[in-house]
Amino acid sequence: MKTPLENIVEWFNALPVSYRQAVAVEVASMMPGMEPNISNPFYHKQFIAKISEPQPDRMKEEGLVVSLKALIEDIITVRTKENENWEQMEKELKEAAELTGSCSLAEHAYQKQIQYKQWTAIRESWKAMAAQSLTYQALCLWRKALQTA
């Protein structure tokens, strides 16, 4: 049986690279003791290595899992909500692109739709994993296993 942290890492590694990078940087920005390196395009690899390091005791490991769960859920919720009105934004950007002839505005309009769909898919994959591995009951069983180990 995988630990909750292993499940989080597996979920994280299944994300598209650009979203993996975005989540890693945001989590690290909010988590005490982590310093995100925004200029490093491979920071997500450092992030996984950092959270995968053995913790000094079981309480620290529990804290890490609970912190990651809360932060990742918050990031996904915010990102999905930010792009919810993509249709209106797309319409406005397309109108502006037609008026100005700007290809970049038209591209930005298209990207809003893609971002919304991607963050929605990420949210659904997180929910599916969390419903199995990060529920209160699953975390209680894991804590019990840590105590007997």
Q: Where are the domains of the chain?
A: 4-148
Dist CA 71 CA 8 (whole Å): 12
Non-local CB neighbours of 60 within 8 Å, separated by 6+ positions: none
Residues in the chain predicted with pLDDT less than 50, given as ranges, are: none
Token couple for 13 = 């590694």
The first and second tokens of residue 12, run together, are 């994280």
Q: How far is CA 129 from the centre of its chain?
A: 13
Dist CA 23 CA 9 (whole Å) = 12
pLDDT of residue 34: 92
- From first CA to last CA, the distance across the chain in angstroms is 14
